[in-house]
A and B are shown apart, each in its own frame.
Chain A
Amino acid sequence: MIEYIESFLIIVLEILCCKIFYSIFGEKRGKNNIWNEVFPVVILSLVTFLSSMLFTDYLIVKIIMSILEIAVVMYAFIEVNFIKSLILSLLFEGILFLVDYFTFLLSRTIFKDIVGIDDMNCIQGVLLILLGKGLLFAVVIMVNRGIGRHSKESLGDEEWLGFIFFPIFTICTIAAMISVLGKPRMQSRDMIYFIIAFGLVGMNIVVFHLINDILKREEKIHEDEMFRLQVKNQTQMYYSISENFEKQRQKTHEYKNQMLCVSSLLQKKRYDEVEKYIGNINKELNFELDSIRTNHVIVDAILNTKYREMIEKNIIFVFRINDLSNLIVSDEHIVVILSNLLNNSIEACEKCKGRRVIKLKFVIEDDGVVLSVKNSYESPLIFQDGKYQTTKNEYDEHGIGIHNIIHVIEQYRGSYVIRPDDGEFFFSIFIPQKVTKTDDK
């Protein structure tokens, strides 16, 4: 009886690996619920177990059956066509045999005193099989790492190194257990070893799933954060636009009053008061009225708001603009690009001890839009993975900002270049003016 339980559990382990292997190549069919996770494993384990019991003496038939079973069941649960499912099943079986054979060879060279794998009563034999499954799991996750589709969902280099510790540790433990097993055997100790070894392999698979879940959740949080930031920027801009209109309307109303006031003060020859009064009005006007006009309402709102912010933060704004009324970039997208670029530059400038300068070029030329921002920066840029990383945490607003900008540029089939230039950070964007926008999925 124990024999049967042992071999069933081993089959379950194989099937779990097989499921991970399949999910590298296709999404789950149907909804992402617990039944979709558990069902295929249970069904496949049972079917494989039964068929291997039935065809114990016919090895070839047993193999063919198990390949077909895997192909059919996985086809039902994973989004792949049948031919592909069959090929994957063959591949998986191939990996399984290779790993088993490798384990067998290993056992011949390292653990010479072992009787043989086929002797199921021997705990060493079982441990050896578990060692094989541990290796199988390691191979499958390496394949996952190598050709995984979800670059953001999969583990980063460091996380991956941390995670690979689990299977390696498991393999080492089981190997150690095999090698220290002496000849005089005690039934209870064998049982404990078996349970430990089995638990270790099982734990690996559980940890793998847990980490995958955590990563998916983090990705979701990241996306939400990106969206939140975009909305925040836009709302801010629209708010400032409507506020500006309101202010200008007020100014028109006030104008008459102010003129009346000035002329009456002049009549009474109260010159000092006139001077003071006009001085106050001027101060307000300088701060409230827009100084930059590009003929594009949204761009003007952003530039003027940011310009005021720069004045407050003692940043020099050097700019070159032209008529942007024919800009093909949509309002919400230009908010993403321009606000993020300027916010990032202002942030970088604030950290500067020396002169703080932001240079902006935003012009429409014959073939497209040229938008570039150059700003002083203090901390050195970090170049990694072919991209400039921010000095702060990857999930902060700055990083997401640049990510959002690039996302929009790509939608318009534009291109960009980021480089440090003579002590300044330089971000230059070109968006072809005539090419129609690709659909945003």
Chain B
Amino acid sequence: MFSVAICDDEPYFREQMKEMLWQYMQDSGVYYKIDLFQSGMELIELGIELNQYKIIFLDINMDEMDGILTAKKIREQNSEIFLVFVTAFVNYSLEGYKVDAVRYLLKNNVNMQESIAECMDAIYKKINYEVIWKEFAFNEGKKRISLDCLLYIESRLHKLELHVMEDRMITYTIYDTLNNMENYIGSKKFIRLHQSFLVNMKYIKSVSQYEAVLHSGKSFPIPKARYKKVWDTYLAFRGEM
């Protein structure tokens, strides 16, 4: 069973949030354990135990330590927890903090209950349908890697080179075809730029006519015939929430 944390310094909002989540669980039949926290501090002090939570609802306007700072601290230890900001006012500067929140929920809105349901469903979908970890039988040995850390795969002769970002860039090799690998990975976040390149769109810095450049500076050619399709896919990817 997943655990959910609610962090708000106003007891009223804490309780309201809990009730709404409870309502959602009854409606959907999916039950989570709910814990309440009065401040960001209390949450952070949990240390390693923080990892038990899959989802944290964070109030932004808290006195002692605000939601943004709390979120940053949480991210320092865990990048997989789903963070949901709850606020009365959404300011442009929020996005700037880059703590990768799934949603910004507006307090006191008449369809708050519906918004929570939408948010929980979206998270549920991410947990269940988005592939994050995959196991590969590399020539260097079996290994499980996070697809988020996989930058690109290059096909060379009869083997594939997987370029993975761990504490430094590491290249693993495996005997397979790129078509098979593309199917195996089965993630919408990867794009076939070229017959012999499968690239994680998250790391693409720019796509211009007939070339894609990664943040690392590495560039890939895009065949003219494939360009329109590549560009449309990339555009759709950028438009995703």
- A residues neighboring B (CB under 8 Å): 282, 286, 291-295, 311, 314-316, 318-325, 355, 357, 359, 361, 363, 365-367, 370-372, 374, 415-417, 419, 421, 426-430
Residues of chain A contacted by B106 (CB below 8 angstroms): 291
| B19, CB-defined interface residue at 8 Å | no
Interface residues of B in 104-131 (CB under 8 A from A): 104, 106, 108-111, 114-115, 117-119, 122
Return the chain B residue nearest A295 by Cβ.
B92
Q: How far is the CA of A361 from the CA of B235 in the complex (A)?
A: 13
Residues of chain B contacted by A430 (CB below 8 angstroms): 235, 238-239
Please judge, given known A-B contacts A295-B92, A321-B90, whether A372 and B104 are in contact too, CB under 8 Å.
Answer: no
| B136, CB-defined interface residue at 8 Å | no
| B132, CB-defined interface residue at 8 Å | no
Q: How far is the CA of A291 from the CA of B236 in the complex (A)?
A: 28
Q: Given A292, A355, A367, A372, which contacts B114 in the complex, CB threshold below 8 Å?
A: A355
Return the chain A residue nearest B91 by Cβ.
A293
Cβ-defined contact, B241 with A320, below 8 A: yes
| B135, CB-defined interface residue at 8 Å | no
A-B pairs with beta carbons under 8 Å apart, 12 shown: A311-B109, A318-B118, A321-B90, A322-B96, A324-B92, A355-B117, A359-B241, A372-B239, A415-B231, A415-B235, A426-B236, A428-B239
Return the chain A residue nearest B112 by Cβ.
A316
Q: How far is the CA of A68 from the CA of B119 in the complex (A)?
A: 76
Q: How far is the CA of A325 from the CA of B96 in the complex (A)?
A: 13
Cβ-defined contact, B239 with A322, below 8 A: no
Q: Given A282, A311, A429, which contacts B110 in the complex, CB threshold below 8 Å?
A: A311
- B residues neighboring A (CB under 8 Å): 88-93, 95-96, 103-104, 106, 108-111, 114-115, 117-119, 122, 205-206, 231-232, 235-236, 238-241
Cβ-defined contact, A314 with B111, below 8 A: yes
Residues of chain A contacted by B236 (CB below 8 angstroms): 417, 419, 421, 426, 428
Main secondary structure of the interface of A (DSSP, over half): strand
Cβ-defined contact, A428 with B92, below 8 A: no
Q: Given B89, B92, B93, B241, which contacts A361 in the complex, CB threshold below 8 Å?
A: B241
A66 to chain B, nearest CB (A): 48
Residues of chain B contacted by A321 (CB below 8 angstroms): 90, 92, 95
B228 to chain A, nearest CB (A): 10
Q: How far is the CA of A260 from the CA of B92 in the complex (A)?
A: 34
Cβ-defined contact, A322 with B103, below 8 A: no
Q: Given B92, B104, B108, B235, which contacts A286 in the complex, CB threshold below 8 Å?
A: B108
Residues of chain B contacted by A427 (CB below 8 angstroms): 239
Residues of chain B contacted by A357 (CB below 8 angstroms): 118
Return the chain A residue nearest B114 by Cβ.
A316
Cβ-defined contact, A417 with B95, below 8 A: no
Q: Which of B92, B231, B240 has the most CB of A within 10 A?
A: B92
Q: How far is the CA of A296 from the CA of B159 in the complex (A)?
A: 51
Cβ-defined contact, B92 with A322, below 8 A: yes
Residues of chain B contacted by A374 (CB below 8 angstroms): 239, 241
Return the chain A residue nearest B108 by Cβ.
A286
Residues of chain B contacted by A282 (CB below 8 angstroms): 108
Return the chain A residue nearest B232 by Cβ.
A417
Q: Which of B93, B109, B119 has the most CB of A within 10 A?
A: B109
Cβ-defined contact, B92 with A316, below 8 A: no
Please judge, given known A-B contacts A316-B118, A429-B239, whether A363 and B111 are in contact too, CB under 8 Å.
Answer: no
A408 to chain B, nearest CB (A): 16
B55 to chain A, nearest CB (A): 16
Residues of chain B contacted by A370 (CB below 8 angstroms): 238-239
Q: How far is the CA of A428 from the CA of B232 in the complex (A)?
A: 9
Residues of chain A contacted by B91 (CB below 8 angstroms): 293
Please judge, given known A-B contacts A323-B92, A324-B92, whether A318 and B111 are in contact too, CB under 8 Å.
Answer: no
Q: How far is the CA of A221 from the CA of B71 in the complex (A)?
A: 55
Please judge, given known A-B contacts A293-B92, A311-B110, A416-B235, whether A372 and B240 are in contact too, CB under 8 Å.
Answer: yes
Cβ-defined contact, A314 with B88, below 8 A: no
A132 to chain B, nearest CB (A): 47
Q: How far is the CA of A293 from the CA of B88 in the complex (A)?
A: 12
Residues of chain A contacted by B110 (CB below 8 angstroms): 311
B229 to chain A, nearest CB (A): 10
A308 to chain B, nearest CB (A): 10
Residues of chain B contacted by A366 (CB below 8 angstroms): 205
Residues of chain B contacted by A359 (CB below 8 angstroms): 241
- Contacts A293-B89, A318-B103, A415-B231 known; 8 new A-B pairs at CB < 8 A: A293-B91, A314-B114, A322-B92, A355-B118, A370-B238, A371-B239, A415-B235, A417-B232
A419 to chain B, nearest CB (A): 7
Return the chain B residue nearest A312 by Cβ.
B110
Return the chain B residue nearest A371 by Cβ.
B239
Q: How far is the CA of A370 from the CA of B95 in the complex (A)?
A: 14
Residues of chain A contacted by B108 (CB below 8 angstroms): 282, 286
Cβ-defined contact, A319 with B89, below 8 A: no
Q: How far is the CA of A415 from the CA of B238 in the complex (A)?
A: 12
8 smallest CB-CB distances across A and B, nearest first, come from A428-B239, A372-B239, A322-B95, A323-B92, A417-B232, A295-B92, A294-B92, A417-B235
Return the chain B residue nearest A427 by Cβ.
B239
Cβ-defined contact, A311 with B88, below 8 A: no
Cβ-defined contact, B95 with A320, below 8 A: yes
Q: How far is the CA of A371 from the CA of B95 in the complex (A)?
A: 15
Q: How far is the CA of A415 from the CA of B231 in the complex (A)?
A: 9
Cβ-defined contact, B114 with A323, below 8 A: no
Please judge, given known A-B contacts A293-B90, A295-B92, A357-B118, whether A318 and B241 are in contact too, CB under 8 Å.
Answer: yes
Residues of chain B contacted by A316 (CB below 8 angstroms): 111, 114-115, 118
Cβ-defined contact, A291 with B88, below 8 A: yes
Residues of chain B contacted by A311 (CB below 8 angstroms): 109-111
B238 to chain A, nearest CB (A): 5
B75 to chain A, nearest CB (A): 17
Residues of chain A contacted by B119 (CB below 8 angstroms): 318
Q: How far is the CA of A299 from the CA of B119 in the complex (A)?
A: 24
Q: How far is the CA of A324 from the CA of B180 in the complex (A)?
A: 42
Q: Which of A291, A367, A372, A426 has the most CB of B within 10 A?
A: A291
Return the chain B residue nearest A359 by Cβ.
B241
A72 to chain B, nearest CB (A): 46
Q: Given B95, B115, B206, B241, which contacts A367 in the complex, CB threshold below 8 Å?
A: B206
Cβ-defined contact, B95 with A291, below 8 A: no
